[in-house]
Amino acid sequence: MDLRAQIRPAIVSLLLFTLLIGVFYPLLITGIAQLLLSQQANGSLILHNGQVVGSELIGQSFTNPLYFWGRPSSTAGYSYNALDLNALTGSSGSNLGPLSQTLVDTVRERVEILHTLDPDNSLPIPADLVTSSASGLDPDISVAAAYYQVPRVARARDMSENALRNLVDQYTTSRQLGFLGDPHVNVMRLNLALDEIK
C-alpha cells in the first residue's frame, strides 16, 4: 500500500475543512449576525452622549448612594476585563455552598451595610441585594431590589419616592413571551435615566 496515496487525500481534506469550517462558516455566521442582530452581535453596548458606557449584559459596580446598586459580585473591586489574566476579573462565582460560614458572614455583612445606609427602611431585603450570582456579572436586579433602594436614592437626590418608583416601573423589563423569567430592571439603564433627570 502506497503511503503517499493515503497522505495526499488526508492533507487535501484537512485544508478543505479548515477553510470551510475555520474560515467560510465563521464569516458567514458573523455576516448574518451583523445584518440581522447587529446590536447583540457587537456586545449590546450602551451609548450615552456618543460614548460607550457599558453593556446591557455585564453588571457595573455602583456604590454611590445617588445610584441604584446592582447585585454583589464575586469579582468586586475590579472592573470586568476578560483579558486581564493578572487580576482575574472575568466571570466567576464564589463557589460557596449554602452551609458555608463564609457565605453566611458575607450575607450578614451586606445586610448590615444596607440597614446602616437606610435605617428607616422596613421593607424586607431582597436576596439579590445580598447574594452574588453564579457569574458575578448580573446586569439586572429584581423589581423588589429596585423598590427597596428607592427611599435611599430619593433622599440622596432630594427627589420624591413616587417619581423614582415611576422611573423603576418605566425601566422594568417584563417576562419574555409573557411567561419566561421574572420582571427585572437593568441597573445601568436605570442609573443613566436617573442622571438625565434635572
| Helix and strand element counts for the chain (H, E) | 7, 5
- Nearest CA-CA partner of 140 in 176, 184, 193, 92: 184
Q: Contact at 8 Å (CB) between 185 and 141?
A: yes
The one-letter amino acid at 85:
L
- pLDDT, tens only, 56-95: 888 888 889 999 999 887 765 555 555 455 655 556 666 7
- Nearest CA-CA partner of 61 in 50, 51, 52, 70: 70
> Who's near 115: CB < 8 A, 6+ residues apart?
121
- Nearest CA-CA partner of 65 in 198, 194, 183: 194
What pTM did the predictor assign?
0.76
Q: DSSP code of 21? A: I
- Report how far residue 2's alpha carbon sits from residue 13's, in angstroms, rounded to the nearest whole number: 18
Sort 117 into a burial class: Cβ within 10 Å, 0-12 / 13-18 / 19+: middle
Q: Contact at 8 Å (CB) between 143 and 161?
A: no
- pLDDT, tens only, 1-60: 677 888 988 999 999 999 999 999 999 999 999 999 998 888 888 888 888 888 888 888
Q: Contact at 8 Å (CB) between 184 and 142?
A: yes
pLDDT, residue 193, reads: 93
Q: Contact at 8 Å (CB) between 190 and 168?
A: yes
Q: What's the grid cell of residue 78? A: 475590579
What integer best gives the mean pLDDT of the chain? 87
Residue appearing with cell numbers 419616592: 161
Q: 13: part of which helix (H) or strand (E)? A: helix 3-19
